[in-house]
Amino acid sequence: MAERYDWTTEEILDLLQKPLLDLVYEAQTVHREHNSHDIQLATLLSVKTGGCGEDCGYCAQSAHHETPVKAEPIMDVAAVLGKAAQAKAAGASRFCMGWAWREIRDGKAFDDMVDMVKGVRQMGMEACVTAGMLNDSQAERLADAGLTAYNHNLDTGPEYYDQVISTRTYGDRLQTLERVRKAGITLCCGGIIGLGESLRDRARMLEILATMTPHPESVPINALVGVEGTPLQSQQTVEPFELVRMCATARILMPKTKVRLSAGRESLSQEAQVLCFMAGANSIFYGEKLLTVDNQSGDRDRDLLKEIGVQPLQPTA
Ligand code: SAM
Ligand code: DTB
Ligand code: SF4
């Protein structure tokens, strides 16, 4: 089946609500046609933790919420590259670095970010950065440094967005994504389920991603980790099948994209994770921590992949 860029909300809602076995079968069929069964291991590091000016209702790092995460000094280049080398030795092929910023500002911290990107690329890994909004010249400098991908999530559908975040708009998000694309950096853009959104909100988010040309090269699917002190701390935990449905639908809509099973994996059984892989998820975050919350342990992940006979994907960039 050829890739499509004209998906409608109703078509996506139909997919999300299909009988689960039919949905997974369809997604697996698309997956086999377009991809190998390898799974990419991406390791995350929080370079600048906490004290963020945005008020994202889910986030442990927002200065607007009283959470167990406190602002920490920014890590220096050597320390970050040391962590990158460890991640590579443990088998990761992508290294993702996060800054809890509303937007990138020029100056030493940005110069250091550029050096971190160059260093990670020299190690032969893909490099991804997530650091909030950016302008055209910052995007170009990151592209020149060899940045593989910029992560900037839409998080939810446009109609629900202002229920979760008030300090920026959906339009701000889309503008950053355009700048990243224009600079020739690949897009890592996805969202979170479990914020109290409707099925239509999930479909709308997927619609916006799946009608981009080209599709985002990577789509992280996060399940809310309810962090103490955030406005969303008491949301009901996402049912594993909901995650399976999101992964499967994303796979059908965007056949070649890396569908990344992201936050919330720690609370999934091994069987539920394998069902997500069947549904087309082909990347995971690998390492003890995500940015501030715990992740599944690396040993468990290695054991799981070995058990099911799946290889970690080798770097392509
Ligand atoms: N400041 C940058 C930004 O907002 O783009 C980057 C960091 S931010 C932590 C990256 C993404 O992680 C968010 O867009 C959100 O989708 C996800 N995320 C953050 N906190 C989460 C949580 N508690 N549970 C699930 N996903 C979360
Ligand atoms: C994404 O969509 N998920 C990752 C990555 N992009 C940067 C981050 C998940 C963060 C989970 C909450 C935390 O660790 O604070
Ligand atoms: Fe800041 Fe990003 Fe957290 Fe929002 S998600 S509060 S922008 S670190």
* Domains of the chain and any CATH numbers: 40-306 (3.20.20.70)
Helices (H) and strands (E) in the chain, counts: 11, 9
Tens-level pLDDT at each residue, the chain (317 residues): 789 999 999 999 999 999 999 999 999 999 999 999 899 999 999 999 999 999 999 999 999 999 999 999 999 999 999 999 999 998 899 999 999 999 999 999 999 999 999 999 999 999 999 999 999 999 999 999 999 999 999 999 999 999 999 999 999 999 999 999 999 999 999 999 999 999 999 999 999 999 999 999 999 999 999 999 999 999 999 999 999 999 999 999 999 999 999 998 888 999 999 999 999 999 998 888 888 888 888 778 888 889 999 888 876 55
Helix, strand, or coil here: 158? Answer: coil
* Atom 2 of ligand 3, nearest CA residue: 100
Ligand 3 pocket, 60 CB below 6 A?
Answer: no
- pLDDT given at position 19: 98
Distance 17 CA to ligand 3 centre (A): 31
Ligand 1 pocket, 94 CB below 6 A?
Answer: no
Distance 156 CA to ligand 2 centre (A): 14
Q: Which residues pair with 45 in a beta bridge?
A: 97
Atom of ligand 2 nearest to the CA of 69: 15
- pLDDT given at position 251: 98
Distance 196 CA to ligand 3 centre (A): 18
Contact (Cβ atoms closer than 8 angstroms) between residue 148 and residue 127: yes
Helix, strand, or coil here: 55? Answer: coil
Evaluate the CA torsion angle 17, 19, 20, 26 in order and state its sign: negative
Atom of ligand 1 nearest to the CA of 225: 24
Ligand 3 pocket, 62 CB below 6 A?
Answer: yes
**Ligand 2: residues whose CB is within 6 Å?**
44, 60, 96, 98, 130, 151, 153, 190, 220, 222, 225, 262-263, 290-293
Across 137-265, the runs of DSSP E, i.e. the strands, are: 149-151, 186-188, 191-193, 218-223, 258-261
Instruction: Name which of 214, 302, 301 is nearest 266 in CA terms.
Output: 301
Residue 124, burial from CB neighbour count under 10 angstroms (0-12, 13-18, 19+): exposed
- pLDDT given at position 287: 81
DSSP string computed for 140-156: HHHHHTT--EEE---BS
Ligand 3 pocket, 52 CB below 6 A?
Answer: yes
